[in-house]
Amino acid sequence: MNKLIFTSLILILFSSQCFLHAQQSEKATELLNEVSSKMSTYQNMFIKFKYSLENKEVDIKQEDEGVAYTYGEKYNLNFMGNIFIYDGAKTYIILEEDEEVNIINGSSEEDLLTPTNLFNFYKEGYSYQLVAKEKRNGKQLQHIKLVPIDSNSESAYFLLSIDLDSKNIHSIANIGNNGTETIISINEFKTNLELSDRLFSFDKSKYTNYTINE
């Protein structure tokens, strides 16, 4: 009898944990849908962000800042001394230190750092779970853990932090299987600005002394 009771308690506990996980996953999905819906209303965006990469095991630490403008799928990204322009058809990578421009067809879809990916990568290929809430610099943040469905992913998980008041993304942390932690924090965010079309086009006349690789 005692064994039967114990087994029943284990089953109830397991069922409760599964139900709680399903609830957390559903709430996380609802919040992400709210964020996605809010982001879709923006005609354009200005993003100023901080980037950090650290792997304590191999004693690597990098920090930098970047600025990006987006208009639909188009973007202009200034990061690590280089400029990336996607005009909707081609990506222009301007390496100012090397005086070189590399032109590729399409966008760098596999790169999380492209502004369009930064705010959309989480929509497919992950399971979601609400984790801790945190108040930081006067903002109420909800953290969501995203675990890749692909078992061969280089990422163990992502931690997406949502500002609950604005329903905008506050930061993204990528925790790699190799111990590398990459964090992108949004320091300034503006939307629906008056932006020139020239921001999203490559003006070859400005780079007459550069080597251009197509």
| pLDDT at residue 211, as a whole number | 93
Band of pLDDT at residue 122, cut at 50, 70 and 90? confident
The DSSP symbol for 176 reads E
Q: Is the pLDDT of residue 84 over 80?
A: yes
Band of pLDDT at residue 137, cut at 50, 70 and 90? confident
Tokens of 177: 């299987």
| pLDDT at residue 116, as a whole number | 67
| pLDDT at residue 156, as a whole number | 93
Q: Is the pLDDT of residue 90 over 80?
A: yes
| pLDDT at residue 112, as a whole number | 54
Q: Is the pLDDT of residue 192 over 80?
A: yes
Query: What is the bridge-based pairing of β-strands 155-163 and 168-176?
Result: antiparallel
- Amino acid letter, 77: L
> Mean pLDDT, to the nearest integer, of 75-81?
90
Domains (range + CATH), the chain: 2-213 (2.50.20.10)
Q: Mean pLDDT for the chain? A: 83
pTM for the full predicted model: 0.80
Residues with Cβ within 8 Å of residue 53, at least 6 apart in sequence: 60, 61, 62, 63, 180, 181, 182, 183
3-state helix, strand, coil in the chain (%, to 5): 25, 45, 30
Residue 142 near residue 130, CB atoms below 8 Å: yes
| pLDDT at residue 38, as a whole number | 86
Q: Is the pLDDT of residue 9 over 50?
A: no
Q: Is the pLDDT of residue 37 over 60?
A: yes
Between these two residues, 169 and 108, which has the higher pLDDT value? 169
